Structure 1
Amino acid sequence: MSFPSLPHRTFCMIRHGQTTANRDFIVAGETDVLLSDLGREQASQLASLEWPHETVLYVSPKTRAQDTCRLAFPGRSFEIHQDLRERNWGEFEGKLVSELPSRHAEPRDGETWETLVERVHNAITECCARTSSSTPSRLPVFVCHAGVIRAVMGLVGIGADAPSAPNAKPLFFRWTGAGHEMVEQI
């Protein structure tokens, strides 16, 4: 599977705060679960961060991502993008994370890894283009899910087998002029 490179600009990805499913080690890709108390606290702590640039916010349609964004960026508007949603694990939704097959497996009634990567590529490309045309100096920030961030890691050459992104922690994909590198600050 080959895709064109992602836009040649820096952007930020934030995984939602811990959910009740994360806490209980349950698969909740398509399932709309709520933030745990810890997840709400994690998201609220993001509100105190000093951002190096003005931001424009893009968010998954899942409640956990929207609640994280509202707590992290109080009073700010954001755009929901359907393609920033987590992978649909089909038959594995609601099961223990330890029961998940390889991400390259094709779960019955679920979404393939290739389909996830394609829609994430399209979402990041579209949102970055929209940001560049309207406010090029602003930093696109995506509040989404571990699977979405893992897809981006694969697209920029870091590798899709890296550990899951931590909850409620900004990960910057800095454009170096030759490619993207993932850093915790820019």
Structure 2
Amino acid sequence: MTLIPKPFVFARHAQSAFNAALRIGGFTDSPLSEAGIQQAQQAAPILNAIEWSAVITSTLQRTQQTASYAVPNQVIHPYEQLKERNWGDLEGCPIEQQLAYEITPPNGESWQDFETRVLSALNEILSEHSWPLIIAHSGVYRVLNNVINGTPYCPRIGNVTPISFIPSQDENSWNIAPFKGKFL
């Protein structure tokens, strides 16, 4: 499955309580930490520089809280399919216990199922909105990296670090760069 070639900005949610405790969050609905609230508020000047066609989050509160602090005057549209990967029995465990992406965690979601779910949601969003801001999870960013670069392995995206994804003229190619408050 490929990604519809339309521009968007992606940001990972601000620091959650599970992030702060170095725990696997996945499907667990962990709220933002105090540092996370500050991160989201600090991102507001950049993310509020544009009136987005839509502000999209997952249904987990850490993404919705990030959006409420970072783009407080815009309506949030939560998508169930953008939730982080279900890490099954590993939810809440120390981050060091996280498995390679190709390995399905006990009672969890396979990488293939996760990628299919996320790409389906992203394509639905991109077919309906011209310049969306998508606030989701590091796993969603890894799906994007896998589709665009052929591997889910990449540096972890920082909390509330907006990245612009602009389709290039080359087929199936993207210009990916830090978002500075406007599309270039």
Hey, what does 1:181 align to over in structure 2? 175
TM-score of the pair, normalised by structure 2 = 0.91
Is the 8 Å Cα contact of residues 164 and 178 (structure 2) preserved in structure 1?
yes
Opposite residue 42 of structure 1, the aligned amino acid is: Q
| Alignment partner of 1:37 out of 29, 34, 50 | 34
Across the two proteins, how many residue pairs are aligned to each other?
177
| Alignment partner of 2:139 out of 138, 147, 167 | 147
TM-score of the pair, normalised by structure 1 = 0.90
The Cα shift of 1:75 comes to 2.2
Hey, what does 2:149 align to over in structure 1? 157
Are residues 1:107 and 2:105 paired? yes
Are residues 1:89 and 2:87 paired? yes
The Cα shift of 1:168 comes to 0.7
Find the aligned partners of 1:83 and 1:53 in 2 and give their Cα distance: 25
Is the 8 Å Cα contact of residues 16 and 64 (structure 1) preserved in structure 2?
yes
Opposite residue 176 of structure 2, the aligned amino acid is: M
Is the 8 Å Cα contact of residues 8 and 177 (structure 1) preserved in structure 2?
no
Is the 8 Å Cα contact of residues 7 and 165 (structure 2) preserved in structure 1?
yes
Identity of aligned residues (%): 27
After superposition, the CA RMSD in angstroms is 1.4
The Cα shift of 1:24 comes to 1.2
The Cα shift of 1:158 comes to 5.9
Counterparts in 2 of 1:160 and 1:95: CA distance versus 1, 3 Å? same
| Alignment partner of 2:162 out of 156, 164, 170 | 170
Secondary structure of 2:10 counterpart: strand
